Amino acid sequence: MFQALARSFAQLTDRTILAVLLKVILLTILLFGLFGVAAYFGLVWLFAWLGWTEGGFAAAAGAAIIAILTGLLLFRIVAIFVLNIFSDDIVGAVEQRFYPEQAETAKPPGYVVGIKMGLASTGRALGYNILAAPLYILLLVTGIGVPIVFFSVNAILLGRDLQDMVAARHASDFHNLAAGWKLPKVERFFLGLITALLLAIPFVNFLAPVLGAAMATHLVHGKKKEQST
């Protein structure tokens, strides 16, 4: 696990990885920016409907606050959605460097499949975190219970997402993966947990999705190599 993380950090200087990282960062920021613009016009309309014609500054301030709060709460979901679109480039770059034989037999899923995977990931993240919301509320009094449950839930979800990004290049049906493309549950959990923790660190969170995809590539192919020996 730590070797996979170290290799992923080391490959951040790869030109292909840097290009994807820039795309993920810019597109993630753009999506939150568009949300902020939509919030601004929505507040302007609301204030006008309420008869407050001088609410332009308040609408701008409110939209900025909404965009920032949304970014803090939903960054992980949006970043992983964007990552799914470009994940094949990251996985492919890692395979070209460390697993050339697997890279030759890979069948890139394309951006359309990536978007579908991203939407599925977003749906799972929203759904499971909404289901866990009552538990989050109950555990507020414990102080530490909420982050433990939150990171546990999202570790499970992220582990699956990252595993599927690799399998999508090789498995005929990544919705029903053969055992050879599945990581052990414990390993998949810690893959997701490390990525979730990195996503919670300011500035490092921009690197986290790319590092997670690279780690998943090492772990999946490492497991395949162990099975073949």
Alpha-carbon distance of 164 to 181, in angstroms, equals: 9
pLDDT at residue 102, rounded to an integer: 87
Alpha-carbon distance of 52 to 64, in angstroms, equals: 19
* Token pair in block for residue 183: 């990581």
Q: Which residue has the tokens 């699956």?
A: 160
Instruction: Characterise 183 by phi-psi region: left (phi > 0), alpha (psi -120 to 50), beta (else).
Output: beta
pTM summary value: 0.84
For the stretch 8-49, pLDDT in tens is: 888 888 888 999 889 888 888 888 888 888 888 888 888 777
Assess contact for 177 and 167: CB atoms under 8 A: yes
Alpha-carbon distance of 88 to 111, in angstroms, equals: 8
pLDDT at residue 46, rounded to an integer: 80
Which is higher by pLDDT, 87 or 52?
Answer: 87
For the stretch 70-126, pLDDT in tens is: 776 788 888 888 888 888 899 999 999 999 988 888 888 888 888 888 999 999 999
Percentage of the residues of the chain whose pLDDT score is greater than 90? 29
Alpha-carbon distance of 83 to 212, in angstroms, equals: 10
Q: Which residue type does 131 have?
A: L
Contacts of 4 (CB under 8 A, 6+ apart): 214, 215, 218, 219, 222
Closest listed residue to residue 9, CA positions, set 21, 26, 24: 21
**What does the pLDDT average to over 196-200?**
92
Assess contact for 99 and 221: CB atoms under 8 A: yes
Contacts of 51 (CB under 8 A, 6+ apart): none
**What's the mean pLDDT when you consider all of the chain?**
85
Assess contact for 186 and 173: CB atoms under 8 A: no
pLDDT at residue 228, rounded to an integer: 66
Alpha-carbon distance of 65 to 68, in angstroms, equals: 5
pLDDT at residue 110, rounded to an integer: 81
* Token pair in block for residue 64: 């900025």
What's the DSSP call for residue 141?
G
